[in-house]
Amino acid sequence: MESVINTLIIALLGTGGAAFIWAVARSIIAWKNSAELREDKAVARLEKFEASCREDLEFERRVSAYWQRMAGSMEHVLIRNGLEVPPIGSPPQRGSARSV
């Protein structure tokens, strides 16, 4: 049995079997590296998207604060000049998309 296995191994190695085994090993390593590269690119894209979302959120907060200050200033001017301020309404409830 051992002589058959030895003969088979010698035949494979002699007829390019070693090159085949080496090529298979290299392709497995290349496939693994490409998978890691794809994952790294996906993570980098997600990090870039998160940073963009954070910048957009901060900008919207600044715009909201500006309009809140503007509304407060207008309300102050109305009150100071003896005009009636329209009711603001109730604050929005958590989970609702619009305030009434």
Say yes or no to pLDDT of 53 above 90. Answer: yes
pLDDT of residue 37: 79
Q: How many CB atoms are closer than 10 A to CB 12?
A: 13
- pLDDT of 18 > 70? The answer is no
Which three-class secondary structure state does DSSP give residue 99? coil
Measure the CA angle with vertex 67, ends 57 and 54; round to 5°: 5
Determine the residue type at 79: I
φ, ψ dihedrals at 43, nearest 5°: -65, -40
- The whole-model pTM stands at 0.51
**pLDDT at site 73:** 93
- Per-residue model confidence (pLDDT) at position 100: 44
- Higher confidence at residue 58 or residue 22? 58
Residue with tokens 């200050």: 69
pLDDT of residue 17: 66
Mean pLDDT in residue range 70-85: 90
**Can you read off the two tokens belonging to residue 26?**
């290299």
Residue bearing tokens 């051992």 = 2
User: Does residue 98 register a pLDDT over 60?
Assistant: no
